[in-house]
Chains A and B, each alone.
Chain A
Amino acid sequence: MLPGIHQNFDQQQAPAFFARGPSPLARLTFFTALSLALMATDSRLQYLTSIRATLMNLLHPLQVIANAPSELFESTDEYFTTHHQLLKENTQLKQQVLMQNISLQKLNLLALENANLRSLLQAQQALAETSILAEILHVGRDSFTKKIIVNRGKNHHVVTGAAAVDATGVVGQVTRTYPSSSEITLVTDKSLAIPIQVERNGLRAIAFGRGRDNTLDLPYLPANVDIRRGDKLVTSGIDGVYPSGLTVATVTEIKTTPESPFAHIVCVPTGGIEHSRQVLIVNLPQTEEPDITADEAAADVSKKAAAAAPAKDAAVSASTKPAPAQPAAAQAKPGQPEKAQPPAAEKSPNKPLTTDQSQHRAQQ
């Protein structure tokens, strides 16, 4: 009697209501393994880069849809700006234009003078950077990483490794490019480092993002270092990524403790995505063969000196200047992922452009 009931009960479990295909445990195992494999592939190998780019392209229309409400709100908000506000802004802008015009005139003079001096010294002409204005599509959706996505990408000649700046200072660096958008890692991200210089005394150091509180760290500086609160930090330009002289941050806190030989210095970035929706992506023109070693370069110079024209020779010797500085910067930041330093292969598309520009400049 009892076994019969059991049998009946077993049969009742069979109907379609309970049929669910593979068991949840089997699915869990399968998809967990798949996720782990994906994570390993994505973090260690480069196979998924093109797949990611393709999928991002598919995602783009959705992104535009998701951004539409906030843009609509902003545009209506702008529409209802009062007459008074507009007038005030207008006078302010006019004043600003006047001031900037004056300094621009000075700049033209200085640029001419600089070109003359450089030609006197037979040094390589400084190259004008190409820059692209981009608008922020969205700020990272992740509280762990400090990243933004902007609406300019490969189609607009944005390259990985380019610097991103705004009116007030450096914002970050382009770390991934997709066809019509690109990802910028902010200076406050843990994986980004910037070679800086203290504006007041020219002291060089490297600033690291802290990954939280929107601040930067200046580690590995001795406790008696000459840095004061309120000091302005600017890019030193020795990394070949950022143009020199851009404001990065101001020092807000210096702490020295007896048990540590290093000073604990905290800085707040001056540029920030909180202030504006636009960023300028600066493609620094690459000098010839940026990753050549000093010895090879010297040999190269002597070889070319016999055959080539003196002007080109000077260009080669000047181009090697940043080279010794780069390994030093790399040594100072252990555990730094590769993405902070743009891979040499991706710089190469820039080359023809830069040589063109230098020739153009030389002709002038």
Chain B
Amino acid sequence: MRNNKLKSIYLSLLAAFIFMLFPWSGLALALRPDFMLLVIIFWLLRAPNQCSVGTAWFMGLWIDLATGGIFGQYALAYTITTFIAVIYQRRLVLFSSTQQLVYVFSLLLVSQLIILILKTFAGSEFTGWVYFMPSLTGVLLWQLAVTLGLNTGRHSRGN
């Protein structure tokens, strides 16, 4: 059971990574949700013992590698985001589905904000409010997954 879960965690993380590697460009790139962070948040809620801050950090490193940026940027963003996610993980039982959506949205925003701050330190300029679009599309994707029947941990613990 535990082994099975670990396997599915790794497989889904790999799938998310390949999704991130797709040759996105133009509008698709601007709208592309952060698949990796969504999968990490999902497993944080479902299996906090197997997937934690360390996993997020490690996957962040791979994203750093893929984006060609300075090592540690996404790793740091994912680390802080997952920390916040873990703190509220036990309270999630009481959240309604709307609350959970807001919670995921704010997590995605936090990670984007951290990246923005780090990039600004590195000398990049803010590219406009379109920059935050991936958070919006990310939360839409989350809602879609929930509608399609993905168990995000709310009900399983709720009863």
The answer to whether B69 and A145 have CB atoms under 8 Å apart is: yes
Contact A24–B87 (Cβ < 8 Å) = yes
A212 in the interface (beta carbon within 8 A):
yes
Candidate in B32, B68, B122 with the most chain A CB atoms within 10 angstroms: B68
When the two chains form their complex, are residues A66 and B72 in contact, meaning their CB atoms are under 8 A apart?
Answer: no
Please give, as numbers and ranges, the residues of chain A lying within 8 Å of B68 by CB-CB distance.
140, 142, 145, 147, 149, 176, 183
Q: How many A-B residue pairs have CB under 8 A?
A: 129
Q: A69-B22, A141-B67, A190-B123 are in contact. List 8 more A-B contacts (CB 8 A).
A: A31-B54, A38-B71, A38-B75, A42-B70, A65-B21, A70-B22, A138-B23, A142-B68
B124→A211 contact, CB < 8 A: yes
What count of chain A residues pass the 8 Å CB interface test? Answer: 47
B29 within 8 A of A: yes
Query: Given A24-B83, A31-B54, A190-B125, A141–B72 Cβ distance below 8 Å?
Result: no
B49 at the interface (CB under 8 A from A): yes
Interface of B is mostly: helix
Interface status of B4 (Cβ within 8 A of chain A): no
- The answer to whether A32 has its CB under 8 Å from any CB of chain B is yes
Q: Which residues of A contact B67 (CB under 8 A)?
A: 140-142
Please name the residue on chain A nearest to B60 by beta carbon.
Answer: A35
How many positions in chain B have a CB within 8 Å of any CB in the partner chain?
46
Q: How far is the CB of B43 from chain A (nearest CB, A)?
A: 14
Q: How far in angstroms is the closest Cβ of chain B from A85?
A: 24
Interface membership of A139, Cβ < 8 A:
yes
Q: What are 8 A-B contacts defined by CB distance under 8 Å? A: A20-B49, A31-B57, A31-B79, A37-B72, A66-B19, A70-B22, A139-B29, A212-B127
| Chain A residues near B (Cβ < 8 Å) | 20-21, 24-25, 27-28, 31-32, 34-39, 41-43, 48, 52, 55-56, 59, 62-63, 65-67, 69-70, 137-145, 147, 149, 176, 183, 190-191, 211-212, 274
Contact in complex: A27, B23 (CB < 8 Å): no
Q: Closest B-chain residue to A191, C-beta based?
A: B123
B111 to chain A, nearest CB (A): 13
Q: State the 4 A-B residue pairs at the shortest beta-carbon distance, nearest first.
A: A38-B72, A66-B21, A35-B76, A39-B72
B22 touches A66 (CB 8 A): yes
The chain B residue sitting closest to A213, CB to CB, is: B127
A66 touches B87 (CB 8 A): no
Given A28-B53, A35-B76, A143-B29, A62–B18 Cβ distance below 8 Å? yes
Residues of B within 8 A of A66 (CB): 18-19, 21-23
Interchain CB contact (< 8 A) of B65 among A25, A52, A69, A145: A52
Residues in chain A near residue B65, CB distance under 8 A: 52, 55-56, 59
B48 and A20: CB pair below 8 A?
yes
Do A65 and B72 touch across chains, with their CB atoms under 8 A apart? no
Question: Complex formed: what's the CA distance from A48 to B86 in Å?
Answer: 31
B18 (CB) vs chain A CBs: closest residue: A66
Bound complex: CA A39 to CA B121 (Å): 12
Min distance, Cβ A229 to any Cβ of chain B, angstroms? 25
Query: A65 vs B14: C-alpha distance in the bound complex, in angstroms?
Result: 12
B79–A62 touching, CB < 8 Å: no
Q: Report yes or no: B125 in contact with A34, Cβ–Cβ below 8 A.
A: no
- Closest CB of chain B to A170's CB: distance in Å? 20
CB of B95 within 8 Å of the partner chain = no
B18:A36 contact, CB within 8 angstroms: no
